[in-house]
Structure formats: structure tokens, C-alpha cells
Amino acid sequence: MEKAQYLRLLYQMLLIRRFEEKCAEMYAKTNIRGFLHLYIGEEAVAVGVTQALAGDDYVLATYREHGHALARGMDAGAIMAEMYGKQEGCSRGRGGSMHLFDGQKLCGGNAIVAGHLSMAVGMALAAKKQQQNRIACCFFGEGAAAEGEFHEAMNLAALWQVPVLFVCENNYYAMGTALRFSHAVQELEKKGPAYGIETAVADGMDVLAVERAAREAVEKVRAAGKPYFLVCNTYRFRAHSMFDAELYRDKSEVEEWKKRDPIPRLSDFLLTKKVITEQDIEDLENRVAAEVQKAVDFAEGGTWEPVEQLTKFVYSSD
Amino acid sequence: MGDKTGILITYREALKQALREALLSDERVFLLGEDVGRYGGAFAVSKGLLQEFGPERIMDVPLSESGFTGAGIGAALAGMRPIVEVMTVNFSLLAMDQIVNNAATLLHMSGGQLNVPVVIRMGCGIGRQLAAQHSHSWEPLYAHIPGLIVLSVGTHEDARGMLLSALKSPDPVVIFEYTYMLNLEKEIPADAGAVDITRAKVRREGRDISIITYGAGVYKALDAAAELAAAGIEAEVLDLRVLRPLDEASVIASVAKTHRALVVEEAWRSGGIAAEISARIMEKAFYELDAPVQRLCGVEVPIPYPKHLEDASVPQIADIVNAVKKMIKP
């Protein structure tokens, strides 16, 4: 891998981290309201997987999707403005943190757990019917794998043989309910083969491992036009949302996982290998800080949609 | 000029002809639903279409209402024009999350970026002694949801035409079809085709009272109006057709003409379409009224199996006639 590509991975993960730290700050200042679900700790998954995708592939994510939006190259300012509820936001302010949209770059921001899985299957079906080369990539948590929708979508995808990549971001907690309290079979990777879907597991705290696994997966999905199930084991360092007192897990567990933080993991690896220098990291941090500040400025400078337009976009004719 | 000669056709055949025309006229259209292909459709509406169009366009699906409805929504987002058939309305609750939380919200939630041109058809209604879990009239549930277009197929003309217009809509359309009418024969013009899906329609002109109804109520109201005419009462029958967004103007226009309104529906009374119509008349046409608006609705009971109790659960022709006579009596 080239230095530029390594730096790109590091840059994207750092951007997500610093962007979200700023989001938390802006939440505390009440500039951002509603639910705010931070991806901090899980950055390697979105960043690793999206490296393997083409620009016109369909990507669907959950309500914890700031990372996916940034990794897909969406403008940080448009995302921040969306969280502020400004009409310059990527969804004109109508969605907020949980509903970031940018055409096929990101089809949500979906806040009904597992509700987007069958949509992803349908998008892949449409790509197949129209003989396009694009695939659908659908991110969801392990909590979603307990929903009936997950099982319906997996079955349909395999039955119809459509090009969809299911990426399970297993962060071990469905809100506050641990994996062991919500799944009889906790090895999530066993659920793919039950539907005849090729399945792999990746260390979701290692962006290089995720990217490797995703490239293999995407290649197979695209070439064979079949579904694939990729489980990325990862960990959320922050609370589920800003309303979460984290009564359900020990601080020591969080501290253990923080030792596997994907950002220092990559930067330390690159420093040790002498691929990059401390100066490179400092440059990245500066670049990211500038971009985050620019995003905040853009959001602050944004405007409120006039109330007269409240019912616009309920129907296309509005 | 089109062929205005009348042809006799069943409701089922009219629905099927519409499906066939849709499939022939647009490559992006495909039908997916339980038993729509090899079985021929649970109510034989799609019988023969698999043989004509093949399994790519007439797709049998597993019993996964949420999954295949969601897939239809996804395919619509990605350039296709899917027709999702939910066998009967009762099963649609399993797909309601997809319809309400996805199809109805995506355009707005994405700030106008995503259109969901999906058509979701479902059989519904009472009249075949199918008891409490297969006889529902849940039009009001769906008509409650902003973002959906909700159509009710109360006539053979609409059975032949509504689907074609629905497929031209950039927004999600839910179509209610009435299974008890499937074998009913009526005359429609030989060249019948796409119909307006934005307006209610006066099915019978009258000056004394407006009977406002939809779906399974339309033919009953027309039969009642014929009986009333014999008694010297000229009732206007207004078929709402579009339950969302409601064509309020046509309701108000009819009431302004007749000064009396009876709203008839088979759905349960509380929170139903009739309640909504009644409220809108109060808001917009109160001073036009010569009598309080009345409602005839489904009795609020899980629909029972025996014929006599089933019949008693929804307004019948005689009930409409009696209600009108009471309202007209000086």
C-alpha cells in the first residue's frame, strides 16, 4: 500500500473522530438537539469498508452514520449544518443527525433498526434488473440481527441472488443490552451461512483488516452478483446517545477496548514502519481541525427554512 | 377516437387488464407478491401473467411482508416501478413499518432527494365470511399517513384505471381493492384506461342529499340511491376514490348543492374516514347544512364469521335507505 493511501485512511478516521468530538461539544451547547449517536471507536469499519466501494454503489447506514457520511466523501459542512437543522444541511435540515442523505452516496441515515436492510436488497435487485455493475452496501449493528427484518432480508438476498454486501458492525451492545442478552447464538457470522450467504469476520478495530476483508467481499459481490455478509467486531467508546448514563457496562471494559483504538493502532503501525512521521500526523491533525472548524462555521452561518415551507416534500408536487 | 362501446367485465378482469397493460407499457414495471406467479394470484388476479411475462417480472416471494415490501421500496428508489401485492390488508401490518417509516418519509426526510415511486396493492374488506383476521377495512390507518397517496377502488372503471395512473406517480401509492367484488360484472367502456387519481367523483347526480362513500360503499350507495329515487328522493353519490390527499373541494361542492350529507364506510366508526369527512364539512360547509351530518360505519367489533353477523357488521343498502329517509323527513 502506498503512503498516500495510508494517510487517507488515517485522515478519514481522524476527521470522523474530531468531527464527532465537536458534535458532542455542540450538543452540550445545545446547537445540536435530538438524538446524537457517536461512532467514536468504530471508525475503522466505515472507513475500511468504503475504500472498497465505487462512487455509484448504494450505501445505506443506521442512525449512527456520521462516519459513513464522511467516509463517503460527503461535505462535513453540509453534515454539520444538517445537525444544526439548517436548510443548507445535506437533508435540508429535515433529518438531523439520524437522517443524513446524499443521493446514492448515502441513502440514509435510517433510524428504524434493520428497516433499511430490505431496502438495500431492493436496490441491489434493481441494479441486477437494470444490468448495472453497482452493488448495495448495508451497514447495521448486531442489534439489527435480532430483528425479523434481518432474517427476511438475508433470505431474500440469497433467494434472489442480488449484489448486496451486509456489514454487521458488532459493537456488542444494542443500546444497553449486551450481545449475550440478545442473541442465543452470539457468533453472528453463523447467521450468514444459514441463508447460504458467504460470510467473513474482520477485526473492526483494525482499518487495514477491514479494508482487506471488504475488498475481497466487494469483489465477490460485484463479480458473482451475490450477497455477502461481513461481520466487523468493534466497540463504541462513547455512550449510546447523549441520554445514556452507561449503567450497563463497566468502565474497565471501555478502557480495555480503548487500548485497541483504531486510530493510534494505525498511526503507531505506520510510525514503527517508518511510513509516516510525527510531522505527518501533526499535519493531518491540523488539516482535520481546519475542516471541522470550517464545517462549524458553515453550520453557524446557515439559515432556517421558512416555516411556510413546513409541508414541502411531503409529496413531490409540493 | 377511443371505443366507447360498453363491455361487460368482472372487477377481477379489470384489475388484471390494468396489470397487463402496465407490464406491457413500461419495462421498469414488475409485480412482486405472495403467490402472484405460479399459483396465479391468491384471488386469481394475476393468473396467466407469469406465463406471459416470465419470472423476472412476475415474482413470487416468500412470506416476508416487511422484507418484500421493503425490497419494493428499495427497487423504486433505484429506478424501477415495482408493484407490490400484499395478499390482504391484514398482512400489511407486517409491512406497515416499511410503508409508514420508509416509503412515506424518505422524500421529506431526505429534503426532497429521494422519490419512492412504489405501488402497493392490497385486497381488503368484508363479505366472504373470512372472520376477524381477514375482513378488515383499514383504509383509515393508511389515510392517516402524510406522504402516502391512498386510493380506494370502488368501481370497475377504477379497477381498470387506477393502477396505471398510480404507476406514473413519483410518490408511494397504496391501492385498496375489494375482494368481495372480484366476481361482480359491470359495464365499462371498451377503451377504459388510466383515470385521474387526484379527485373524488360524483357517481350519481342528485339534489336532495349527498351520500359520500368509497370502496365497497360505492355500489351499495348507488343501489340505495336507485331505491330512494323510486320514493322521490334524489340522492347524489360521491365516491371519494382518493382517501389521501382528500379531495375536500368535491365534498364541499356536493354538500353546498344538496345541503345534507350522509357518510358511509365499512371501516370502524371511531377515527375513520367518515369522521374526517364529517369534520371537514363542519369546518368548511357548516352553514350549508340543513341537517346534521350523519355517519353509517362499520360496527366496532372484530368481524364475526357467520353470514348474518358479518352482514350486520357493515352498512347495507337498506341501512343507507333508512338513514337517508330519516334525514330527509321534514
Find, among A30, A95, A80, A39, the residue nearest to A293 by Cα. Answer: A80
B293 touches chain A (CB under 8 A): no
Positions of B marked active-site: 65, 134
The pLDDT value recorded for residue A241 is 87
How does pLDDT run across B151-161, given as a tens digit for each residue? 999 999 999 99
Instruction: Count Cβ atoms below 10 Å from residue A197 Cβ, excluding itself.
Output: 18
Cell match 464527532: residue?
Answer: A20
What domains can you pick out in chain B, each with its CATH number? 6-189 (3.40.50.970), 201-328 (3.40.50.920)
Where is pLDDT greater, at A240 or B176? B176
Nearest CB neighbour to A112, from listed B68, B101, B110 = B101
Contacts of B112 in chain A (CB under 8 A): 92, 312-313
Segment A159-186, tens digit of pLDDT: 999 999 999 999 999 999 999 999 999 9
Q: Tell how strand B81-88 and strand B119-124 pair up.
A: parallel
In chain A, % of residues over pLDDT 90: 96
- The confidence score (pLDDT) of residue B330 equals 57
CA B114 vs CA A140, B73, B79, B104, B150: distances in Å: 21, 11, 11, 11, 19
Under an 8 A CB cutoff, do B113 and A89 touch?
no
Contact at CB, A112 and B110, closer than 8 angstroms: no
Cβ distance A119 to B171 less than 8 Å, yes or no, reads no
| Average pLDDT estimate for B271-289 | 98
CA separation (Å) from B255 to A217, B288, B321?
63, 7, 18
Interval A192-229: pLDDT, tens = 999 999 999 999 999 999 999 999 999 999 999 999 99
Testing the interface with B: which of A101, A162, A315, A318 to mutate, by most B Cβ within 10 A? A315
pLDDT confidence of residue B2:
63
The answer, as to whether pTM is greater than 0.90, is yes
Q: What is the mean pLDDT of chain A?
A: 97
Query: In chain A, where are the structural domains located?
Result: 3-309
- Quote the pLDDT of residue B278: 98
Q: Is B250 on the interface with A (CB under 8 A)?
A: no
Q: Does B155 touch chain A (CB under 8 A)?
A: no
pLDDT at residue A318, rounded to an integer: 83
CA distances from B164 to B17, B316, B328 (A): 10, 31, 40
**Which residues from B are below 8 Å from A101, CB to CB?**
109-111, 113-114
For the stretch B35-82, pLDDT in tens is 999 999 999 999 999 999 999 999 999 999 999 999 999 999 999 999
Does residue A117 have a pLDDT over 90? yes
CATH architecture under which domain A3-309 falls: 3-Layer(aba) Sandwich (3.40)
Cβ density class A106-142: b for 16+ within 10 Å, e for less = bbbbbbbbbbbbbbbbbbbbbbbbeeeebbbbbbbbb
Would you put residue B279 in left (φ > 0), alpha (ψ -120 to 50) or beta?
Answer: alpha
Contacts A–B by Cβ distance under 8 A: 144
Report whether B324 contacts B228 (CB < 8 A): yes
Percentage of chain A lying above the pLDDT 70 cut: 100
- If you average pLDDT over residues B171-195, what whole number do you get? 96
Kindly report, residue by residue over B196-238, the tens digit of the pLDDT.
999 999 999 999 999 999 999 999 999 999 999 999 999 999 9
Contact (CB<8Å) B97/A136: no
B-chain residues within 8 Å CB-CB of A94? 108-111
The interface residues of chain A toward chain B in range 141-200, judged by CB-CB distance below 8 A, are 148-149, 152-153, 155-156, 159
**CB contact A90 to B (< 8 Å):** yes
Contact B74 A119 (CB under 8 A): yes
On the question of pLDDT at A39 being above 80, the answer is yes
Pairwise CB contact (< 8 Å): A123 & B61: no
pLDDT at B1 over 60: no
How many other CB atoms sit within 10 Å of the CB of residue A245?
A: 8
Contacts of B223 (CB under 8 A, 6+ apart): B317
